[in-house]
Amino acid sequence: MPNTSVVIIGGGISGVAAALNLAQRGVAVDLVEREPRLGGNTLDVCCKAVNGQCQHCGGCLVAERLRAVCAEPLVTVHLSSTITNIQPAGDTFSYQLVTANVKQAKSARAVIAATGFDHIDARTKGPYGYGALSMVITGEDMERRLRAEGQSVYDCAVLRDVAFIQCVGSRDEHANRGWCSQVCCRYAVRLARLLGARSPQTNITIFKMDIQTAGRDSQAFALAQQEGIRFICGLPAVVRRSEKDSAKAALLFDDINTGQFRTNEFDLVVLATGIEPRSDALQLAETLGVERNRFGFLASQDGAALSIPGIFAAGCCQSPRSISESIVHATAAAEACYRYLQEHTQ
């Protein structure tokens, strides 16, 4: 398909996967990333293999795709760049590409939004003390540390008791975040299993509402239970500094199984924070002229197509997704885009 090009906004795993897919079908792609590097949020994801056994977290799916997209002649990568002024002009879209204050007028036959997500700031959940208590970290903090220093950081861990708190910022209608972030249960269970394997003397407790096992992760949940990871139904009300030992955190929670309030102490508390739309998602939606759903994700009726023909969404800007689900969705978006191009090319 000569003389057709597609602009993809966002160079995270979804944008990269969509770009690769279109390029492999012979479509020229402009891949625009506002950061100085590709990869987006996935760059923080670590390998979570337990005793050499892959947990299918998808972390390793990223690097080879980033290499491939850089080597792909049909994909032009624009780093530290943004897009403004997208206007439909007949069968094409005209837009301005801004790289380091240099503006360039360009056009594309179709647009794919792949702007990804923001991690929900754990500080918005004040009672959990993130930012104030040093023993309270988030799941991404833990992943980043594992990624930077390797799995062996927990080999000689002096952690006796570790708690994971699920749904931090997700499924919370009071905070206007009624959605399930879909990835936190999976990464928390994987991280918990990894920690348990690396540091067998550590007692691990996961505070949860409902473990989201739909898909193929029910096995991981069952294995975690077999391995002695304790699941407690109900989220803690508050995390404080322990009065007995200032290095520890005290969690106050309502144990649904016994119906009593209890306080337990932990050396480390991991907050499984969720996924929310980018802080500038509204601006993006207005630039593109497309609609958002009631939570602020881009609204699509049928998988990837947005409310304006020729504009598609890939990955987490449309709904929370794991890495492999993002790749599948980006592939579907690229497919839909390719068919749109076929139909609209003379």
Q: Is 133 one of the binding residues for other proteins (CB under 8 A)?
A: no
In the complex, minimum distance from the CB of residue 226 to other proteins, in angstroms, rounded to a whole number: 13
Residues with Cβ within 8 Å of residue 232, at least 6 apart in sequence: 205, 206, 207, 208, 253, 255, 257
Q: Is 5 one of the binding residues for other proteins (CB under 8 A)?
A: no
User: In angstroms, rounded to a whole number, what is the distance separating the alpha carbons of residues 39 and 27?
Assistant: 21
In the bound state with other proteins, the residue whose beta carbon lies nearer, of 155 and 302, is: 302
Mark the segment that binds other proteins (CB under 8 A) among 120-128, 174-182, 189-197, 240-248: 174-182
Mark the segment that binds other proteins (CB under 8 A) among 6-14, 87-95, 215-223, 309-317: 215-223
Binding mask of the shown chain, residues 28 to 57, with x at each position contacting other proteins by CB under 8 A: ---------------------x----x-x-
Q: How far is CA 9 from the centre of its chain?
A: 16
Q: Is 339 one of the binding residues for other proteins (CB under 8 A)?
A: yes
Residue type, 4: T
Residues with Cβ within 8 Å of residue 296, at least 6 apart in sequence: 276, 277, 281, 282
Q: Is 221 one of the binding residues for other proteins (CB under 8 A)?
A: yes
Among 81, 166, 182, 202, binds other proteins (CB under 8 A): 182
Are 147 and 45 in contact, with CB atoms under 8 Å apart?
A: yes
Q: Is 157 one of the binding residues for other proteins (CB under 8 A)?
A: no
Residue type, 124: T
Length in residues, the chain: 346
**Which of 137, 124, 140, 139 lies closest to 174 in space, CA to CA?**
124
**Which of 270, 73, 90 lies closest to 190 in space, CA to CA?**
270
User: In angstroms, rounded to a whole number, what is the distance separating the alpha carbons of residues 315 and 232?
Assistant: 31
Q: How many residues bind other proteins (CB under 8 A)?
A: 42
Q: Is 345 one of the binding residues for other proteins (CB under 8 A)?
A: no
Q: Is 219 one of the binding residues for other proteins (CB under 8 A)?
A: yes
Among 178, 228, 289, 309, binds other proteins (CB under 8 A): 178
Task: Enumerate binding residues for other proteins (CB under 8 A).
Answer: 21, 24-26, 49, 54, 56, 60-61, 171, 178-180, 182, 185, 209-216, 218-219, 221-222, 233, 256-257, 293, 303, 319, 324, 327-329, 331-332, 334-335, 339
